[in-house]
Structure 1
């Protein structure tokens, strides 16, 4: 079943399609920019996480090696109200 459209109707349909396409292209660009920003943020967070893991590993190794002898640890101190 085919419809016969007048040139004015075809022009209006074409303009509507162009408008929808432009809107979708705009949102694709917006989403692409958001993904790029998220990737940058994720990379920074992964770098920070790796740094924190390394520092925690170093602290754990220092504690295991006995470097903590003679130092007071906050968990060993008695609170002032005791």
Structure 2
């Protein structure tokens, strides 16, 4: 294999690797963005759940909470 052919092969591999690296970088950025959105949504849901629990507690202690009830087979 001549030096020129080897150089062409290496340049081709580098070009392919550059393209692959750009693709991976784009995907990682997209996933990071999606993770941020899901983290914010999770936090919002936790806050709303906490608000609902507080509202139930304010209604009075006689309202049964699902987590305090025994399953039907007990």
Q: TM-score, normalised by structure 1?
A: 0.71
Q: CA RMSD in A?
A: 1.6
Larger helix proportion, structure 1 or 2? 2
Q: Of residues 39, 43, 47 in structure 2, which corresponds to 1:50?
A: 43
Cα distance in 1 for partners of 2:43, 2:13 equals: 45
Cα distance in 1 for partners of 2:24, 2:55 equals: 46
Partner residue in 1 for 2:20: 27
Return 5+ residue gaps in structure 1 as ranges: 70-82
Give yes or no for the alignment of 1:40 onto 2:33: yes
Q: Which runs of 4+ in 1 moved over 3 A?
A: none
- Larger C-alpha radius of gyration, 1 or 2? 1
Does 1 or 2 have the higher relative contact order (CA < 8 Å, sep 6+)? 2
Mapping 1:1-82, distance limit 5 Å: 9-66=2-59
Aligned length: 61
Return 5+ residue gaps in structure 2 as ranges: 63-74
